[in-house]
Chain A
């Protein structure tokens, strides 16, 4: 996914970009509205992450001008100032969702996906492995032409495996990626999700292997 990150705190924006890149996303980070508009002129983004307090103006003005130019790029507002009224106002201004700093990345991911699902049909970004098609943006999985519904955790697990096929993912690694840290995730839960995913991938060209003591690997038959 390609993100445009508009955030004036350089250190934070670098950290967020690094974190998103670790998940395989492409991030352009800019620190003011002017640069953001230039970037939007030359590239298309799947998602804009927008801070409301910017050095050369308010994020809400940028949002309003973006929407008035008929640019429908999904926007998630990320703010540190969360007056209760702000939340309502930003949604009224045309933001698709908002997040309050500091946020957990799994939550950002979940919100991105929810927004993209709502705005579906705008861009198609489907990756194929054998007879399995996966829309990375909105998380739709198709096996043999049949849509398979994945619950959130299954979807995230599949995404991790699908984006790095043939790679071995340790259980500990998967626990950290699947569960936000307030929840008590366990390796047992990972096993449960692996089992469910295996069931749902039955009849496809993909195999979910267990490598005892090392982890899991998604590989293709073809």
Chain B
């Protein structure tokens, strides 16, 4: 089942946040480079302008009480060397323009005598940068204030500023693109442990309830430990269920034994035919429930044990012989001969002997149950294609029309066995054992005529 996806993707969120941070950083970078460039350009222009103004101011002198202005044209050529900007000047003496552009915006009152004063203005439809330098003289005992204004259009400055901006923008967007790639990689790798945990959970078999042991980053550790907690709760509830089945089977068995024994006693002592008939029915029912009880318990045990297999080296031949010994008295009661086809003396196999014995026991038990009296059941062990095959062939009635998959389902029985007591769990148990050993269960008609051959095929 897919979980409900409601809170979006962590990766998308992480990537978005990282990208936003990268964008902010790129913008800050572009802006600061641009403003530093602009400042540098402005400062350069200001320095040149003030040097020009100062050289004009320095050339001022008084000759016999007259102020002489000598414009050093070399100054302008110096300014022109830097850029193609046009240069304007205006000299104001005691509030009266004495030379230069009379309409160049100028306010001598703002100008201090010590430091140059800068301002931005508009002149003849162009932005200009203006510097003002003030000098004070004394001509014939009269104080004279001279203010020199030098202005320059700002095309050079604007060009430098825009050049800087475009370089900064290129570098900034390059950085931004690179950052996006890094964000994607980072979010991918940050989420990798999460995907690994998911894969590890996915890879598990349906009955693998061991806790997860792989190393995980600190952030995922709570998730993994919550998962482990859940797994162990699940396992303990499974174990509880199995114990419950075992206890239930145990609690049922003793009363069933009471019913069975007393019914047998009654059957031996009564002479009334209807009572005998009733007692036989009671015995049959008791047998039926005791069989189901036993197989439920076996099923629970086999299920539990297939998850915790104790695999060891098992000699299949002697295991088969032991199981035959065990079932011989029961077979004999029906006059059935259990024959073991002589073959090899030992066949080694890696298996859980308890599970294997239980599977074989169930097959032989089935065979005895469905075989007619005075028939033969053959148990053989051979090694076809480097695998181990244990076959139990009877002369019974076969399994009818049902397929192998159907017969190994829980509580399913062949469709021709209504008159025989059975629970429908026997082959389920066998299939489970075979499955946990990566083996194969094969149900076929007996090649020698009537009957059935049930084979367990195990890897060598």
Q: Which residues of A contact B (CB under 8 A)?
A: 9, 11-12, 15-16, 18-19, 22, 80-85, 88, 97, 100-107, 110-111, 113-114, 151-153, 172, 176-177, 180-184, 189
Contacts and interface: CB of A to CB of B under 8 A. Distances in A.
A84 B301 contact: yes
B11 interface: no
A104 B267 CA distance: 13
Nearest to B298: A84
A189 B373 contact: yes
Contacts of B332: 110, 114, 151-152
Contacts of A102: 253, 256-261, 286, 290
A113 B265 contact: no
A107 B333 contact: yes
Interface string B326-367: 101110111100000000000000000111011000000000
B136 interface: no
Nearest to A79: B253
Contacts of A103: 257, 260
Contact of A12 (B258, B286, B301): B258
B261 A80 contact: no
Contacts of A11: 258
B276 to A, nearest CB: 7
Contacts, number: 114
A180 B283 CA distance: 9
Interface in B251-295: 253-254, 256-262, 264-265, 267-269, 273, 276, 280, 283-284, 286-287, 290, 294
A15 B262 contact: yes
Contacts of B301: 83-84
A111 B250 CA distance: 22
B357 A83 contact: no
Interface in B300-335: 301-302, 305, 326, 328-330, 332-335
Contacts of B254: 9, 12, 80, 101
B287 A19 contact: no
A22 B257 contact: no
Contacts of B290: 101-102
Contacts of A12: 254, 257-258, 261
B208 to A, nearest CB: 22
B386 interface: no
Contacts of A9: 254
B228 to A, nearest CB: 28
Contacts of B441: none
